[in-house]
Structure 1
Amino acid sequence: MSSVSVVDLSYFDAHVRSKYSDVIGAKLGGKVISFSDEFFAEASNLLTARPPIRDKTRFTYNGAWYDGWETRRHNPEPADWVIIKVGVTSARLVACEIDTTFFDGNQAPAVSVEAAYSETEPEASTEWTTVLERTDCRPSARQFFLRAAGETKDFYNYVRLKMYPDGGISRFRLYGTPVPVFPAAIDTEIDLAHVSNGGVAIKCSDEHFGTVDNLLVSGRGVDMGDGWETTRSRVTGHEDWVIVKLGAKGVIDRIVVDTAFFRGNFPDKVRVEGSDATSDEAVLDNGDWTVLVPDAKAAADFEHEFKISHDKPVSYVKLTMVPDGGIKRLRVYGRRVL
């Protein structure tokens, strides 16, 4: 039996979203592989990165359009379900969010979440572990659940969301720690900041237009919306920043700061620093940083690559925008140290 606690948004943002990754999100590569039904709205909408929207004037052949997963009425089975492949190799699961925004009167009355590790796609014989016991859902609401610390040791690569007996859910987020598969040769260069290798953005100054977790995913994105963008500053000397915990401590060879799609709102300059702190608390408290990339003029819609001469290992990096703006991706290529 799983043990979870219900938490509010402020606690979730401070203690979950800032420390863990949504390991099933579409932008990380999570995908729906099977479902019981999606008559009114597709199950894949559950994994969309942007918040749900509503257009009451929009209808499809089957009925009102919803930005979420919605099944038909009168399900003869106990529950509708969807199976999702985790976007990383596997992950330890810490918390989840069930969002029924705009589903009011047609929301899922209750849900549960199960997880499994399988070398192949789940079958009828697959053994599932309960992550979230059956719990009631509120209409048009975001609900946040935190697992007990003692239950987060196992890792999984498939998740099954059930709703009892049918209805609609806008978004499903499942936060955890990726379990990376590093190259056997320790001196192989890898992106130590990439979320699949365990990188996570633990704190930032601002993320008004785009969230910092976008910095650490694959590819160069599709538009300005899937990067990190801050508000415009009017204060002399202002700087925006983000601190990233690397997936493994390492010696950095090169750093890439990509401003793809940011053409009139890229930062004037960028700076990157490193720290060998041993904990999040230590790096946030002491501010002991070594400059890896001194203030460098930035350009629009461009991959800036910087060779790094610092030969000491670091476990955290701090990316600073002077004074503000938008960045699409941050790559920190280096070699692990044990």
Structure 2
Amino acid sequence: MSVAVVDLQTFDAQVVKKYSDVIGAKLGGKAISCSDEFFAEASNLLAPKAPIRDKTRYTYQGAWYDGWETRRHNPEPADWVVIKVGVDSARIIGCEVDTAFFNGNQAPHVSVEATFVADGAVPDASTKWTTIIEKTACGPSMRQFFVRKDGLTDEFYNYVRLNMYPDGGIARFRLYGTPIPVLPEALSTVIDLANVTHGGVAIACSDEHFGTIANLLLPGRGIDMSDGWETTRSRTPGYADWVIVRLGTKAVIDKVVVDTAFFRGNFPDRIKVEAIAAADDQTAINSTSWTTIVPEQKAKADFEHEFEISDSPVYTHVKLYSIPDGGIKRLRVFAHRV
């Protein structure tokens, strides 16, 4: 196993648009223990918003940082933080380590380890860890992207450990992979297969200026419109924004829910939903053979639009339209597997 260091554009195309951040706080990821967090708490690593800096702000410990920072002169090889994955378990492909505003006090090197602990237990001193991102150099105040050259891990994990050698600061940590959900045994059970916890992934869109498409697939309805999908205002007649979602598995669709929660003056004028059975993501993205399952119709502000789907064939992807533009909080695709 070795790691490729890639740029933002490559990481976005090869990782972000194909996989999910399985440790994000919005998904339920949580820092459960760490070696040290004297200057700044390890939980900041998983915060959904971009890090900020206030040079005028000081705490009892010293300068305030929006990230995880440990004290100097660590006698051990590395400081570490253990994080509970936000899904049942996941296979891992790569990560982002952001040292924003840590300059001179950044982590010089990092590595990532993972483990699976069964029956609701937590890692302890006897836990065996597997290296999934080998020790790699970090620079000051920058976003850095690491991808496993041998692809997704063969094993799936529910805990990860981020190590920084020997100490220092990291602002944000994102870990991408494929959720391995625990699904009902009965195929006839209807579940939301667009939800990221069930393997749904938003793979392409026309625009995500104010809010990312990954937000559409999060659990719950959030607390404000910051964690929805919102596009720029269009000025072209006949324009429509869109997003394509790969379902967690191929399925027969029973109901679609389009939620505009918190979007009250910037919701779409109209919405439409299409679906397709495609061999892979690129085929779906390039296809002109989509089937309309929710015809174009007026949308409402701050409202859960529910649409029953009858006589559905098997689909793998859905395409949601925001016409001509606007914000949508969540997309739910309730279906039963085949």
Identify the TM-score tier after normalising by the shorter chain.
over 0.9
* Corresponding letter in the other structure for 1:297: K
Per the TM alignment, residue 151 of structure 1 is displaced from its structure 2 partner at its CA by: 5.5
Q: Identity percentage over the alignment?
A: 68
Q: How does 1:270-289 map to 2 (within 5 A)?
A: 270-289=271-290
- Corresponding position of 1:49: 48
Measured at CA, do residues 151 and 202 of structure 1 come closer, stay the same or move farther in structure 2, by a change above 3 Å? closer
Partners of 2:211 and 2:249 in 1: how far apart?
26
- Corresponding position of 2:255: 254
- Corresponding position of 2:92: 93
Partner of 1:149, secondary structure, is coil
Per the TM alignment, residue 174 of structure 1 is displaced from its structure 2 partner at its CA by: 0.5
Partners of 2:34 and 2:287 in 1: how far apart?
49
Partners of 1:237 and 1:299 in 2: how far apart?
20
* Corresponding letter in the other structure for 2:317: Y
- Corresponding position of 2:186: 185
- Corresponding position of 1:36: 35
Per the TM alignment, residue 150 of structure 1 is displaced from its structure 2 partner at its CA by: 5.2
Per the TM alignment, residue 61 of structure 1 is displaced from its structure 2 partner at its CA by: 1.6
* Corresponding letter in the other structure for 2:191: I
Partners of 1:5 and 1:150 in 2: how far apart?
11
- Corresponding position of 1:24: 23
Partners of 2:152 and 2:252 in 1: how far apart?
33
State whether residues 91 and 152 of structure 2, in contact with CA within 8 Å, keep that contact through their aligned partners in structure 1.
no
State whether residues 107 and 140 of structure 1, in contact with CA within 8 Å, keep that contact through their aligned partners in structure 2.
yes
RMSD: 1.0
- Corresponding position of 2:243: 242
Measured at CA, do residues 176 and 150 of structure 1 come closer, stay the same or move farther in structure 2, by a change above 3 Å? closer
State whether residues 152 and 177 of structure 2, in contact with CA within 8 Å, keep that contact through their aligned partners in structure 1.
no
- TM-score by length of structure 1 reads 0.98
* Corresponding letter in the other structure for 2:142: A
- Corresponding position of 1:78: 77
- Corresponding position of 1:171: 172
Where do 4+ consecutive residues of structure 1 move more than 2 Å?
Answer: 148-151
Per the TM alignment, residue 3 of structure 1 is displaced from its structure 2 partner at its CA by: 1.2
- Corresponding position of 1:108: 107
Q: How does 1:1-338 map to 2 (within 5 A)?
A: 2-119=1-118, 120-149=121-150, 152-337=153-338
State whether residues 93 and 151 of structure 2, in contact with CA within 8 Å, keep that contact through their aligned partners in structure 1.
no
Partner of 1:219, secondary structure, is coil
1:211-255 alpha-carbon deviations (Å, 9 max, x no partner): 000000101011111000000011111100000000011111111
Greater Cα shift, 146-155 or 62-71: 146-155
Partners of 2:216 and 2:152 in 1: how far apart?
29
Partner of 1:60, secondary structure, is coil
Per the TM alignment, residue 148 of structure 1 is displaced from its structure 2 partner at its CA by: 2.3
State whether residues 94 and 146 of structure 2, in contact with CA within 8 Å, keep that contact through their aligned partners in structure 1.
yes
State whether residues 263 and 301 of structure 2, in contact with CA within 8 Å, keep that contact through their aligned partners in structure 1.
yes
1:178-200 alpha-carbon deviations (Å, 9 max, x no partner): 01111011000000101111100
1:278-336 alpha-carbon deviations (Å, 9 max, x no partner): 21121122221110101121111111111112421111000000000000000000111
Partners of 2:241 and 2:286 in 1: how far apart?
18
Partner of 1:27, secondary structure, is helix
Measured at CA, do residues 224 and 151 of structure 1 come closer, stay the same or move farther in structure 2, by a change above 3 Å? closer
Partners of 1:298 and 1:286 in 2: how far apart?
26
State whether residues 190 and 335 of structure 2, in contact with CA within 8 Å, keep that contact through their aligned partners in structure 1.
yes
Partners of 2:33 and 2:116 in 1: how far apart?
16
* Corresponding letter in the other structure for 1:308: I
Where do 5+ consecutive residues of structure 1 fail to align?
none
Partner of 2:43, secondary structure, is helix
State whether residues 292 and 310 of structure 1, in contact with CA within 8 Å, keep that contact through their aligned partners in structure 2.
no
Greater Cα shift, 53-62 or 311-320: 53-62
1:1-30 alpha-carbon deviations (Å, 9 max, x no partner): x31111111100111100000001111111
Partner of 1:155, secondary structure, is coil
